Amino acid sequence: MQSETPWYRDGLKFTCSQCGDCCSGSPGFVWVTDDEIAVMAEALQQTVDEFEDIYVRKIGARKSLKELPNYDCVFLDEKTRKCELYDARPTQCKTWPFWESNLRTPEDWQRTCGECPGSGLGKLYGLGSIEKQRLAKKV
């Protein structure tokens, strides 16, 4: 059985405006793997244990980055609105906005474009690139 070609087969545009909106707002989870934790810890010149004690919370069997009281990610700089660990950020962050929830329907994508100023603008990502990000292992 051949699968249906996604509605976004001609690609989608996205350019990160570095507004920080995807790192703030409503409460949520930034799921992280042990490998991602190790990369972030190294970027901060900390041990994995130190990093986890300060920046990670356990949610059942999974791990998520902590949030500040206003629900901003713990690594979102409040003044610059930029990620303090951008080069070492986890897969969940790297693959935004090409998440399954944003790609189900054209209406879901339009909602994303309304929430994220870089979605729908800038660089055109082809189907292969979008699918690679959509299917990237997220914890």
- Taking alpha carbons only, the member of 60, 57, 39 closest to residue 48 is 39
Q: Provide the residue type at 108 as one letter.
A: D
> pLDDT value at position 2?
46
pLDDT over 70 percentage in the chain: 96
CA distance 130 to 101: 13
> pLDDT value at position 1?
44
| pLDDT tens-digit map of 78-107 | 899 999 999 999 999 999 999 999 999 999
pTM over 0.95: no
